[in-house]
């Protein structure tokens, strides 16, 4: 699995617009064949901060996502709403994972 956590801080006046754009992107992304999960999370004690938690079958799935029209629409829409540049942190998913996947890593 290929996991990306996108940390975002938006300008307060654009919070609701950001949420709507991110939900639309998430709803389309979960229909992609390479996507396993897409969560939109809002920080409890700072509602202008978000974490987008994205899980793909592999890096190719994430790269395919970045070529979609819904991703481009989200990226372009939210660009001016950021209070600071978004930060994407990439991870390799270790669990849950099938035994077959784990065996190939040994």
CATH architecture type of domain 2-105: 2-Layer Sandwich (3.30)
The pTM assigned to this predicted structure is: 0.87
Strands (DSSP E) found in 1-106 = 2-9, 35-42, 49-56, 87-92
pLDDT > 90 in the chain, percent: 83
Please say if the pLDDT value at position 102 is more than 60: no
Span 49-94, pLDDT tens digits: 999 999 999 999 999 999 999 999 999 999 999 999 999 999 888 8
């Amino acid at each position: 699995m290929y996991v990306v956590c996108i940390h975002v801080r938006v300008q307060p006046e654009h919070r609701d617009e950001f949420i709507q754009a991110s939900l639309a992107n998430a709803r389309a992304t979960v229909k992609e064949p390479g996507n396993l999960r897409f969560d939109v999370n809002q920080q409890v004690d700072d509602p202008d901060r978000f974490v987008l938690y994205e899980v793909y079958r592999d890096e190719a799935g994430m790269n395919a996502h970045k070529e979609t029209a819904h991703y481009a629409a989200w990226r372009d829409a939210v660009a001016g709403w950021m209070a600071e540049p978004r930060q994407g942190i990439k991870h390799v998913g270790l669990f849950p994972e099938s035994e077959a996947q784990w065996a190939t890593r040994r």
